[in-house]
Structure 1
Amino acid sequence: MMSYPNDADGAALRRLADRCDMSEPMDIDFVVSVPDQAAGEELARLVTKRGYTPSVEFDEEAEEWTCYCAKRMVPTYEAVVAAQQELDELGAEVGGYSDGWGTFGD
Structure 2
Amino acid sequence: MKLLSKKFPNDEDGQVLKMLYKQGVDFNEPQDAEFFIAVPDKHSGEAVLKSFKDDRLICELEQDDETEEWTCYCLNEEIIDIQKRLDGLSIPYGGQTEGWGVMID
What is the TM-score when the length of structure 1 is the normalising length?
0.81
> Which has more strand, going by share of residues?
1
- Misfit runs of 4+, over 6 Å: none
- Of residues 48-57 and 28-37 in structure 1, the stretch that sits farther from structure 2 once superposed is 48-57
Matched, 1:63 2:62: no
Helix, strand or coil at the partner of 2:18: helix
The corresponding residue for 1:23 is: 28
CA distance in 1 between partners of 2:102 and 2:57 (Å): 14
RMSD, aligned α-carbons: 1.8
Helix, strand or coil at the partner of 1:40: helix
CA distance in 1 between partners of 2:56 and 2:79 (Å): 14
CA, structure 1 residues 50+26, in 2 after alignment: closer, same or farther (shift >3 Å)?
farther
8 A Cα contact 1:27 1:105, kept in partner: no
Give percent identity, aligned residues only.
37
CA distance in 1 between partners of 2:79 and 2:53 (Å): 17
Give the number of aligned pairs: 100
Q: CA deviation at 1:98?
A: 0.8
The corresponding residue for 1:2 is: 5
8 A Cα contact 1:57 1:66, kept in partner: yes
Q: CA deviation at 1:5?
A: 3.3
What is the TM-score when the length of structure 2 is the normalising length?
0.82
* Structure with higher RCO (Cα < 8 A, 6+ apart): 1
